[in-house]
Amino acid sequence: MIVRISGEGQFSVDDAATAELNRLDSELEAAVNRNDEAAFTSALHGLLDQVRAQGSPLPADTLEESDLILPPQDASMDEVRSMLTEEGLIPG
Amino acid sequence: MAAKKLMKGTAARMGVMKRVSLVFKAKANRALDKMEDPRETLDYSYQRQLELLTKVRRGVADVATSRKRVELQMNQLQQQANKLEDQARKALGMGREDLARAALERKASAQSQLNDLQAQYAQLQAEEEKLTVASQRLQSKVDAFRTRKETIKATYTAAEAQTRINEAFSGISEEMGDVGMAIQRAEDKTAQMQARAGAIDELMASGALDDAVGGSRRDDIQSELDMMSASSDVESELSRLKGEITSGAPKQLEGGANGNSQAAQAPQGQGTQYAPPPPAQTQPASIPASDRPAEPQDGEG
């Protein structure tokens, strides 16, 4: 499975790590939904740390699409919200 | 298209990671859909990649410019803080705790601006590094894309090429979306910092931070210090004269002692132009010295 950390690059992550990533992702989403910035930051950092620890970076010259994309390390909750819509942060 | 529907249908239980990736995919798909001949996509996309590379390099340069400006301001503020501490030290040496306090208060204000700028500087530096790495990564991918583009064009018919083009295109367009977002974020941060840097420039120009170079308000602490050292010059001048008089004419000692205490106050209350009787004849030469205190002080040691 390929996971991109936005602004940082792509990682190849073993499928075995998926369950833990999903758990952290649910926390992240729950934090966004209840507007809890502190919980959001800690869930995001937990998620990114997990990807970095479990994954190995893909070479820069690969042209593979990611299965999952994560917000950048310093993203605010508002930024993540806008990444979830097509009108948001990602330029067309 | 399929990606878009999927995103809407299952967004609620999909999690952030998947939703973000589907947003990226939807954008890529929409761009692909516009193309009549899939091979046309390759050249068009390649052009856009080159444009983006230029843009991200310009972004790196812009952030570097902002960082240098912040650095310049930090140096100015540091000089001010040092100067104010110097003034505080001098004031304390002269027993003027009130002046020392005023100088230290301004130093604290300059220092807090400085701390703020240091944080901004670190952020800009991080942003610059991120963009530099992003531009290198994009360059690698653009090179890979160009190679693949030529292969596809040479070996496949339009119909056959479709799948391979889609693959190459999706990979690069995700990177482009990500780099585009990184540039956007860097621009936003830089704009915020430029606004704050402008505010600090204004603050320094207003003299509120006691601009050591040209501020208008700086003189109140400095001129009091100057005046005080001038008045101590007067003191030493006086005792020198007194020494001369004492050795020559012991009778005038009383008058000299009188004038001594008045002379010490004279430079502070400059309005008091009335001269104390006998020793005053030697004083007018030293009173104006309080207007230009620095030279006599150095001269007298």
**Collapsed DSSP state (helix, strand, coil) of residue B1:** coil
How far apart (Å, rounded) are the C-alpha atoms in residues A89 and B178?
A: 9
Query: Does pLDDT of B13 surpass 70?
Result: no
- Domain-embedded: residue B78: yes
Closest residue to B17, CB basis, from A69, A86, A89: A69
- Domain-embedded: residue B72: yes
B25 in Cβ contact with A65 (< 8 Å): yes
- Domain-embedded: residue B180: no
> Which residues of B are less than 8 Å from A29 in CB distance?
15-16
How far apart (Å, rounded) are the C-alpha atoms in residues A56 and B80?
A: 49
β-strands A68-70, A2-5 pairing:
parallel
Q: Which domain holds residue B89?
A: 62-140
How far apart (Å, rounded) are the C-alpha atoms in residues A29 and B25?
A: 20
ipTM, interface predicted TM-score of the complex: 0.86
- Domain-embedded: residue B125: yes
How far apart (Å, rounded) are the C-alpha atoms in residues B242 and B250?
A: 10
pLDDT band at B5 (very low <50, low <70, confident <90, very high): very low
β-strands A56-57, A68-70 pairing:
unpaired
Cβ separation of B182 and A4 shorter than 8 Å? no
Containing H/E element for B92?
helix B38-93
Any idea what DSSP says for residue B57? H
B128 in Cβ contact with B263 (< 8 Å): no
Report pLDDT digits (tens) over B62-72: 999 999 999 99
- Domain-embedded: residue B50: no
Containing H/E element for B89?
helix B38-93
- Domain-embedded: residue B301: no
Nearest CA in chain B to A32: B16
* Cβ partners under 8 Å of residue B228, min gap 6: B94, B96
Report pLDDT digits (tens) over B108-136: 989 998 998 999 899 899 999 999 999 99
Is pTM, for the whole model, over 0.95?
Answer: no
pLDDT value of position B219: 55
Cβ separation of B177 and A90 shorter than 8 Å? yes
The CA distance from B67 to the nearest CA of chain A, in Å, is 19
How far from the centroid of its chain's Cα atoms is residue A32's Cα? Answer: 13
- Domain-embedded: residue B122: yes
Burial of B98 (0-12, 13-18, 19+ CB in 10 A): exposed
Burial of B47 (0-12, 13-18, 19+ CB in 10 A): exposed
In chain B, the number of structural domains is 1
- Domain-embedded: residue B120: yes
- Confirm or reject contact between B12 and chain A (CB < 8 A): no
First to last CA, chain A: 25
pLDDT value of position B208: 64
- Confirm or reject contact between B206 and chain A (CB < 8 A): no
